[in-house]
Amino acid sequence: MSTPADPPSAAPVIVLVRPQLGENIGKAARAMLNFGLVEMRLVAPRDGWPNPSAGPAASGADIVLSGARVFGSVAEAVADCAHVFATTVRKRGVTKPVLTPEEAARDIRTAAGRCAILFGPERSGLETEDVALARAIVTVPINPEFGSLNLAQAVILMAYEWSKSQALAQPTLEAIDPPAPQAELEGLFGQLDTMLDATGFYHPPERTPATRRTLRTLLTKPGWSAQEIRTLRGVLSALEGKKRPRN
């Protein structure tokens, strides 16, 4: 049987209590690593540990699975934790403070000492005895007509709320080019204006100033980058070239 280690850490420990399927353990590990959590503890997993079904479901979160430790009881799993939060949809006869995931994450970030978050079995959730070990209950505000969350969903909600205080990168975020100088925008407008004038677009003549203002407003709204303006001018040049007779 494992013995909890005691290095201080601001990150909470994720404790899966009597998890049933290896796939769900793997998915929970994936959810944890998405938001920078790596310490998983398992309490009496039904199918034993390690479980061959967990790896594929973890989709590369091997660091979480390889470090997962097994305990015989919830008390053993949280023995080194000063603050324990139990995720459950109801109080189950135990009087405890009830927090939202956001409130719980705030407490975890400011708590002195290690924190653990308990998640119950897939079918039944945490038992009263499990919840009794917790300092507070965490309940997700959810549709009362359909309050079913799977294990990985519950883990990812808590992990995300905790991660808000961390400097996690957005992998799909790309640097946005700054807006082009006004001179380049004027060049685009001038090119378009010349082409439109040559085609007789401005009609009737008395509406020309208003139409030009509308076009200028339209072109200045997006905040085009220099590259975007070059692309648009290239399009206009290509269209204008098609109208020219070829020798």
Residue-wise pLDDT for 152-196, tens only, equals: 999 999 999 999 877 665 565 566 778 888 888 889 889 988 988
Tokens of 202: 């401005």
Task: Tell me which of 90 and 176 has the higher pLDDT.
Answer: 176
149 alpha-carbon distance from chain centroid: 17
**Confidence check: pLDDT of 92 > 70:** no
Q: pLDDT for 6-29, tens place per residue?
A: 443 479 999 999 999 999 999 999
pTM above 0.75, yes or no: no
First to last CA, the chain: 87
Domain 13-163's class?
A: alpha beta
Show Cβ contacts of residue 32 under 8 Å, excluding neighbours closer than 6 positions: 14, 38, 40, 61, 64, 155, 159
Which range scores top for mean pLDDT: 60-64, 168-172, 237-241? 60-64
Dist. CA 7–CA 80, nearest whole Å: 10
The mean pLDDT of 46-67, rounded to a whole number, is 95
221 half-sphere exposure, CB direction, 13 A CA radius = 7
Q: Pairing state of beta strands 83-87 and 98-99?
A: unpaired
Among the listed residues 173, 117, 158, the one whose alpha carbon sits nearest the alpha carbon of residue 35: 158
One-letter amino acid at 119 equals F
Which range scores top for mean pLDDT: 31-45, 100-114, 170-184? 31-45
Question: If pLDDT is split at 50, 70 and 90, which confidence band does 107 have?
Answer: very high
Give pLDDT, residue 1.
52
Phi, psi of 105 (to 5 degrees): -60, -40
DSSP codes, the chain: ---------SSPEEEEES---HHHHHHHHHHHHHTT---EEEES-TT-SS-TTHHHHHTT-HHHHHH-EEESSHHHHTTT-SEEEEE-SS-TT----EE-HHHHHHHHHH-SS-EEEEE--TTT---HHHHHT-SEEE-----TT-----HHHHHHHHHHHHHTTS----TT--PPPPBPPHHHHHHHHHHHHHHHHHHT-S-SGGGHHHHHHHHHHHHHSS--BHHHHHHHHHHHHHHHHHHSPP-
Q: pLDDT for 194-235, tens place per residue?
A: 988 888 888 888 888 988 888 888 888 777 788 888 888 888
CA torsion through residues 31, 153, 105, 15, sign: negative
Architecture of domain 182-243: Orthogonal Bundle (1.10)
Per-domain residue ranges of the chain: 13-163, 182-243
Give pLDDT, residue 4.
47
CA torsion through residues 186, 188, 189, 190, sign: positive
Rounded to the nearest integer, the mean pLDDT of the chain is: 86
> Judging by beta carbons within 10 Å of its beta carbon (0-12, 13-18, 19+), is residue 216 exposed, middle or buried?
middle
The mean pLDDT of 25-36, rounded to a whole number, is 96
